[in-house]
Chain A
Amino acid sequence: MPKTRTLAIEGWFQDAPTPALIGTQCTSCQSIFFPPERTFCRNPGCVNDQFNDRPLSTTGKLWSYTTNNYQPPAPYVSPKEDYEPFAVAAVELEEEKMIVLGQVPDQVSIEQLEAGMEMELVVDTLFEDDDNEYVVWKWRPA
């Protein structure tokens, strides 16, 4: 039986065919938040509590990057039995004026990364269990 494709967290991103991070925007001061803020506006000059969802830019510039050469501790779950190092990217979104982290898909090695390069958002496997393929957003070279 095929596994169910399941978002690793609800409400933070939307899956293919139009993958995107879901930010929120304050209806009063227009401040943008990711992870989505849906309770109180965190602009100290604003007391609003109403937000609209706002998909964030799906491309941005690579601000910095690094690797996880050792397996992170739980609650991280390795997608493979034998842990394989992977890269983590920090990507600067020009319009939103913010930096968002994400894993880099395991097909991309660190040698392929260079600060300032254009990156694009994808949704890819985080890990699997017997019934589900859990997916999450990742950044890969555009």
Chain B
Amino acid sequence: MATGEVAVLGVGMHPWGKWGRNFVEYGVKAARDALDDAGVDWKDVGFVAGGETIRNGYPGYVAGASIAAALGFNGAHVGSSYGACASGCQAISMARAQILAGVTDVALVVGADTTPKGFFAPTGGDRTDDPDWLRFRLLGATNPVYFGLYARRRMELYGDTVEDFANVKVKNSQCGAQNPNARYPKAFGIDDVLSSPMVSDPLRLLQICATSDGGAAMVLTSMDYARKHATNPVRLRGVSTVTPQYPNTNIEMPDFATDSAFAVPQPDVGYRDSIALRAYEQAGLGPEDMSMAEVYDLSSALELDWVEAIGVCEPGDAAKLLRAGDLSLGGRIPVNPSGGLGAFGEAIPAQAIAQVCELVWQIRGEAKGRQIENAKAGVTANMGLFGHGSSVVVTA
């Protein structure tokens, strides 16, 4: 049964880069753009949902309220959520629930971050009960180590090549070059990618997403409110924030091991596959209804895993689609038309929101230079450390 739907009346971003300013600035800029885009007065916002960063003492100065304060407190209800890379989706989920519960007609969702240079690393101190700390200490397992393991596995299992992985980056960078909000608006060639320094074999620097400053925001409203303010508003049809089902037999960041399937058999649907599936179910739609996807390309190779996980093709076939041009602009189902994380870098609380912003621009025909013809519906997929699924389905 399809769930209730809400409208995405407006979207906005602060360009992504390495600006070195307070995250609240990015969040406020993105929020004001989203409010302008929606034609909604800030005073009419009844709920503010903030995705949190954890790099500022208190989690993101408790993001929802910090951004509401900067916009000028208006008495709205507030919520702040942390789900690592899925934080933005948690904020979307909260906002949708408040609207469907009838608490308010208008909600503002904001995520913004300021990131340090280099590898993401755990917070300091001797924290020997924290798996995220221990994986650096005992394994030296950076995030790219996990990406490298996944990429090598695809090569061994499916025959994917380093050229395939490089061509994902080439494809996405062509879109990123047309995106004014992207951090790296540059089209790379395959030689650029394959001559960049090796980070975690077989992945090279240009195939691994950077860390970025940036912000993204959206205005969600009830369908009744939206119809009074816009013709054909984009509809938010599904939001998935699922956890894994025990035993999860895929090796996930920041874990040392998978669950064991010794006593309990692995579930019929694996974790990654379940994430978009639950959003499709809410929407009453399937992958065959999607005209595009924004997926979690922490590495170029990982994009191919997600293409399969969102049901576009069978496991192992994503590289064939890539080679046939099916995942490019003009292809059967363009993937990461924004340029993806490869062009943006990670601004953790913003990235799941930014994925939805791109789908909205595409559906409205406003993705200049990277527009997908006849874009009617799209899906996002993302995942946060420790078991935070993230997927959103939007349609015209």
Interface size for A (C-beta < 8 A) is 46
Proximity bits, A61-74, B CB within 8 Å = 1, else 0: 00111111110111
Q: Does A17 contact B (CB under 8 A)?
A: no
Q: Does A110 contact B (CB under 8 A)?
A: yes
Which residues from 61 to 98 on chain A have a C-beta closer than 8 Å to any C-beta of chain B? 63-70, 72-77, 86, 88, 90, 95-98
Contacts known (A73-B118, A75-B136); A99 close to B258, Cβ less than 8 A: yes
Give the chain B neighbours of A136 by CB distance below 8 A.
138
Bound-complex Cα distance A94 to B255 (A): 19
A75 and B122 contacting across the interface, CB-CB below 8 Å: yes
List 5 additional A-B contacts (Cβ < 8 Å) besides A31-B260, A99-B249, A101-B141.
Answer: A26-B263, A74-B124, A75-B122, A95-B262, A99-B257
Give the chain B neighbours of A58 by CB distance below 8 A.
none
Which residues from 109 to 144 on chain B have a C-beta closer than 8 Å to any C-beta of chain A? 118-119, 121-122, 124, 126, 128, 131, 133-134, 136-142, 144
Closest residue of chain A to B122, judged by CB? A75
Give the chain A neighbours of B149 by CB distance below 8 A.
63-66, 88, 90, 101
Proximity bits, B220-236, A CB within 8 Å = 1, else 0: 00000000000000000
Closest residue of chain B to A69, judged by CB? B198
Closest residue of chain B to A45, judged by CB? B264
Ranked 9 nearest A-B pairs via Cβ:
A66-B148, A115-B156, A73-B121, A97-B261, A98-B260, A64-B153, A32-B260, A31-B263, A75-B137
Q: Which among A63, A68, A96 is the interface contact of B140 at CB below 8 angstroms?
A: A68
Q: Does B259 contact A (CB under 8 A)?
A: yes
A102 and B134 contacting across the interface, CB-CB below 8 Å: no
State the Cβ distance, B129 to closest chain A Cβ, in Å: 10
Q: Does A22 contact B (CB under 8 A)?
A: no
Closest residue of chain B to A83, judged by CB? B140
State the Cβ distance, B269 to closest chain A Cβ, in Å: 15
* 11 A-B pairs (CB sep. < 8 Å): A32-B263, A35-B257, A64-B156, A65-B149, A65-B152, A66-B201, A72-B119, A74-B121, A97-B260, A99-B249, A101-B257
Q: Does A1 contact B (CB under 8 A)?
A: no
Closest residue of chain A to B201, judged by CB? A67
A76 and B136 contacting across the interface, CB-CB below 8 Å: yes
Q: Which among B126, B137, B251, B261 is the interface contact of A76 at CB below 8 angstroms?
A: B137
Q: Does B150 contact A (CB under 8 A)?
A: yes
Give the chain A neighbours of B148 by CB distance below 8 A.
66-67, 88
Q: Which among B138, B199, B200, B261 is the interface contact of A9 at CB below 8 angstroms?
A: B138
Give the chain A neighbours of B134 by CB distance below 8 A.
9
Closest residue of chain A to B142, judged by CB? A72
Bound-complex Cα distance A64 to B145 (A): 11
Proximity bits, A12-27, B CB within 8 Å = 1, else 0: 0000000000010010
Q: Does A43 contact B (CB under 8 A)?
A: yes
Closest residue of chain A to B147, judged by CB? A66
A8 and B137 contacting across the interface, CB-CB below 8 Å: yes
Contacts known (A64-B150, A98-B259, A101-B251); A42 close to B201, Cβ less than 8 A: no
A115 and B152 contacting across the interface, CB-CB below 8 Å: yes
Bound-complex Cα distance A11 to B246 (A): 24
Q: Does A2 contact B (CB under 8 A)?
A: no
Q: Does B72 contact A (CB under 8 A)?
A: no
Give the chain A neighbours of B247 by CB distance below 8 A.
31, 43, 98
Bound-complex Cα distance A126 to B121 (A): 19
Bound-complex Cα distance A135 to B325 (A): 49
Closest residue of chain A to B261, judged by CB? A97
Proximity bits, B185-199, A CB within 8 Å = 1, else 0: 000000000000111
Proximity bits, B142-179, A CB within 8 Å = 1, else 0: 10110011111100100000000000000000000000
Give the chain B neighbours of A126 by CB distance below 8 A.
138
Q: Most chain-B Cβ atoms within 10 A of its Cβ — which of A43, A66, A76?
A: A66
Bound-complex Cα distance A115 to B136 (A): 24
Q: Most chain-A Cβ atoms within 10 A of its Cβ — which of B133, B142, B259, B260?
A: B260
Q: Does B73 contact A (CB under 8 A)?
A: no
State the Cβ distance, A111 to closest chain B Cβ, in Å: 10
Q: Does B256 contact A (CB under 8 A)?
A: yes
Q: Which among B124, B133, B251 is the interface contact of A99 at CB below 8 angstroms?
A: B251
B140 and A103 contacting across the interface, CB-CB below 8 Å: yes
A97 and B249 contacting across the interface, CB-CB below 8 Å: yes
Closest residue of chain B to A115, judged by CB? B156
B136 and A30 contacting across the interface, CB-CB below 8 Å: no
Q: Which among A43, A74, A101 is the interface contact of B139 at CB below 8 angstroms?
A: A101
State the Cβ distance, A74 to closest chain B Cβ, in Å: 7
Give the chain B neighbours of A101 by CB distance below 8 A.
139, 141, 149, 251, 255-257
